[in-house]
Amino acid sequence: MPNQQLIDYINQSRQKGITDDQIRQELSNIGWSQSEIDEHLGQQVKEIIQKPKSRIKDQIKLFVTAVIIVFGFFYLLTLLVACK
């Protein structure tokens, strides 16, 4: 079961540039079990990997929407010019 205190510690350590091996050693020194450390470090890696994927999907949706709007605008402009 995820421990928020451990998750916060891992996130803060990574933001400071501390490597996972250093985090693992420090957590082990203060009494966390190897299985807890592995579980939480692995969970954090999964979340980091999944975030860029969703960001890319959002960017693709935004791009497609913009393209549709631009083509729609030019289509309407063509219709207006043709009606004159």
Q: Domain spans of the chain?
A: 4-83
pTM exceeds 0.75, yes or no: no
Question: Using CA atoms, how far apart are residues 55 and 48, in angstroms rounded to an integer?
Answer: 11
Look at residue 46 in the predicted model and tell me its pLDDT. Answer: 54
Look at residue 59 in the predicted model and tell me its pLDDT. Answer: 87
Q: Going residue by residue through the chain (84 aa), what tens digit of pLDDT does each one get?
A: 568 888 888 889 989 999 888 998 999 999 988 888 888 887 665 555 556 666 778 889 999 999 999 999 999 999 988 887
Q: Any idea what DSSP says for residue 18?
A: -
Look at residue 61 in the predicted model and tell me its pLDDT. Answer: 92
Question: Using CA atoms, how far apart are residues 61 and 67, in angstroms rounded to an integer?
Answer: 10
